Amino acid sequence: MARKKVYMVSGGVSKFTKSRQDRTFQAIVKESYDYALKDLKLPAKQVHEMIDGSTASYFSDHFTRQLMAGIMVQDYLGLTPRPSHRVEGGGATGGLNFQAAWREVASERMNLCVAYGFETMSHVNTWKGNEFIALASDISFDFPVGGFYSGYYAMMVTRHMKEFGTTPEQMAYVSVKNHRNAMYNPYAQKSAKLTVADVRNSPMVAWPLTRLDICVMSDGAATTLLADEDTAFQLTDNPIEITGVGTGTDAMRMADRPHKDVVLAPNEKAEDYVGDQFHGGKLKYPGIHSFRAGRTAGNMAYKMAGITNPLKELSFVELHDAYTSSELQTIEDLALAKYGDAGKFMESGAAFMPNIDYGLDFTGEQGTLPINPSGGLIACGHPVGATGLMQAVFAFWQLQGSQPRHFQAMGMDAEKAKVLQLEDPHKGAIHSHAGTGTYVTVSILERPKGQELEFRR
Amino acid sequence: MKTNPNAKLDEDWKSLDGTMVLNIPFPEDWTDDELKRMKPIVVKFPYQVNYLHSYGQDSPWFAALSNGQLLGTRCKECGFTTANPKLACQECYTPNSTEWVKLPMEGKIHAFTVCYFGAEAFLDQTPFILGLVEFEGVDTLMLTRIVGLDPEEATLDWIGLEVKAKFTKLTQIKPTDVYFVPKS
């Protein structure tokens, strides 16, 4: 099937913070929208007029206490009467929205589509917020038992530990990395120079996950602009192509998931999961230790983008690290390490930035495939409907080589603003994830061959 | 509504509880810039409903719990057996193929955690142990509370521990009507 080429041409993020009482959600989205529109060759007003329609993402009607919030953004942005619809799928809401906008352009229904997303989670206290989020678990069988997402993820952790020998210290490496990276990202909600001991000594939330293993709640918004080839090059000299789009699902309740054969990635063989190291001589899958939806989404995106060895072919990954443990699980789903090996992969240093001193000893080469160079959800925050779009914006700036300029625009000094810009990134993957692994999206962004980076180290 | 011409527009004021709002600062002579710098007004109100939730086709599972029994479902076609009811088989698409079956009253801990925090509704119960229990001959797990282990002594050795079902004396028609305790 001939499919129209789709490019990302621009993006904007309204800095995520704990609380934005100074603006309503429409006005927060507009901040990111205005930023995206002014980062193009044509005047913002003209770009605004060229937009054919939008896709809107926000997760929880409980947090907004406002139904049809999407249309209120659409009219505030002055995009009525152009087409729009809401996209929702738990934590993957933003990633699903990015793909919805991709479909609008790939299907030739639109030449220029804006995907905007937001969440304002500060309207209730943290524990009521946790309750609202836990309503994204089965309210007959799961929520009443002790509905708490950190609890659900912690059960996956204990199983992953039992199954594969993963340790809380390996998880803590993720927290050290993401908080440290975020010191060079002015958009991050949190940043810190931490040690493994700091993470382990932080207050226990759900054994063995501590407060520093878990992302925080945020208010924020993000916008991405997607276009067909003609429109893309009319708007910018360095658009980034979206070459792969994958989506997977799994049962709402992790307890309901089967224990069968591994869904293999292109770089894996069935024999990889047979042997004495697995309980019963063979890995049972997905169980609760792995995300079949993530594996499915990754495989689909890799196939479309022609990627057969993601570890070698990707330059970086921005993935949904709502928990340090889910970063490890996702590394395996995305076939960057075999199932069971993500803990060791983290210790190897491969997932760290090559140019930052983390104060850790690595067992291998540092920085061969940076994961969450931006700081991820753990540091940047997780205003659900915006999160997947934020990842797209960071990946886009990274591939454009424009990140230092955008970070400086946030007031960061020039030297510091360059730190997270990779040397020669070609392909990046973004990964958005819902529930206990219910909806997962993976999209591949690629710098067109021969297109120069805006900033080269 | 009374206005207070002397109040500064950019000063912080507390959340306002309820609808009796007096003395919101607002000068008689204002400029556009002053209004755009104004601190947000935050109003607070309760948000509560009585909600009717039907367990629908899954109702027998809860009725069984209230009578000290554990039920699951099994697909007559592919044999996939679930610890929580699935009146449609999720593994093979065969309409109306699942039947109610009795579950064993004993199982093993497959995974667990100790929750030190939680959703607001459960905060006063912390720390509590959440567990997933596996049963012989059953393909899926059951989410439950584990009682009778010391939350402060969490260890991976709990995984694989044999546990048995106990039922609360007073039923609440909730999945917490059953909980599991160590078998010995």
For A145-173, how does the pLDDT look when each residue is reduced to its tens digit (9 = 90+)?
998 999 999 999 999 999 999 999 999 99
B120 → closest Cβ in A22, A128, A206: A128
At residue B169, the pLDDT reads: 94
- In three-state secondary structure terms, A71 is helix
Mean pLDDT of A334-354: 98
Check B139 against A161: CB less than 8 A apart: no
Choose from B120, B145, B150 for mutation: most chain A CBs within 10 A.
B120
Chain A residues close to B117, C-beta within 8 Å:
127, 130, 148, 150, 205-206
> Is B113 in contact with A155 (Cβ distance < 8 A)?
yes
Answer whether residue B22 shows pLDDT above 80. no
Q: Answer with the one of B12, B29, B48 that is the final residue of a domain.
A: B48
Could A150 and B117 be called an inter-chain contact, meaning their C-beta atoms sit closer than 8 Å?
yes
Which of A291, A312, A297, A346 minimizes the C-alpha distance to A178?
A: A346
Q: Structural domain tally of chain B?
A: 2
Residue B13: pLDDT over 90: no
Q: Which residues of B touch A257 (CB under 8 A)?
A: 140
pLDDT given for residue B41 in this prediction? 87
CA distance A29 to A119: 9
Q: Is A220 helix (H, G, I), strand (E, B) or coil?
A: strand
> Is residue B35 domain-shared with residue B76, that is, in the same domain?
no
Residues B79 and B132 in one domain: yes
Compute CA distances A126 → A18, A132, A218, B149, whole Å: 10, 10, 10, 28
Residues B133 and B86 in one domain: yes
Residue of chain A whose Cα is closest to the Cα of B110: A159
Same domain, B60 and B12: no
- Strand B24-25 vs strand B3-4: parallel, antiparallel, or unpaired? parallel
* Paired residues of A248 in beta bridges: A440
Quick one: B92 and B152 in the same domain? yes
Same structural domain, B27 and B71: no
Cβ–Cβ below 8 Å for B143 and A157: no
Which of these, A131, A443, A183, A161, lies nearest to A317 by C-alpha position? A443
pLDDT digit string (tens) for B31-51? 999 999 888 888 888 888 899
Residue ranges covered by each domain of chain A: 137-215+248-380+426-446
Residue A1 has what pLDDT? 52
Range of B128's domain?
56-182
Mean pLDDT of A122-147: 93
Half-sphere exposure in the Cβ direction for A269 (13 Å, CA) = 4
Interface touch A146/B111, C-beta < 8 Å: no
The interface residues of chain B toward chain A in range 86-145, judged by CB-CB distance below 8 A, are 86, 90-91, 110-123, 125, 128, 130-132, 139-145
> What residues of B are in contact with residue A139 (Cβ under 8 Å)?
53
Q: Which CATH class is domain A137-215+248-380+426-446?
A: alpha beta
CA dihedral A388, A212, A335, A384 (to 10 degrees): -20
In this prediction, the answer to ipTM > 0.85 reads: yes
Looking at the fold, whether B68 and B102 belong to one and the same domain comes out as yes
Q: Which residue from B80, B90, B113 is facing A151, i.e. has the nearest CB?
A: B113
- Answer yes or no: do B88 and B113 share one domain: yes
pLDDT of residue B21: 54
> Looking at residues A209-231, what average pLDDT do you find?
97
Q: What is the pLDDT of residue B157?
A: 98
Residues B119 and B164 in one domain: yes
What single-letter DSSP state applies at residue B131?
E
Q: Kindly list the residues from chain B whose CB atom is less than 8 angstroms away from the CB atom of residue A284.
A: none
> Which chain A residue has the Cα nearest residue B47?
A65
**A229-237 CB contacts, 8 Å cutoff, 24+ apart:** A229/A4, A229/A5, A229/A7, A230/A111, A231/A9, A231/A50, A231/A111, A231/A112, A232/A7, A232/A9, A234/A41, A234/A42, A235/A9, A235/A10, A235/A40, A235/A41, A235/A42, A235/A47, A235/A112, A236/A9, A236/A10, A236/A40, A236/A41, A237/A41
Q: Give the closest residue to A101 by CA, choosing from A275, A195, A226, A186.
A: A226
CB distance A256–B55 less than 8 Å?
A: no
Paired tokens of B180: 């599991």
Residues B6-25: what's their mean pLDDT?
53
Give the one of B83, B130, B142 whose C-beta lies nearest to A151's C-beta. B130
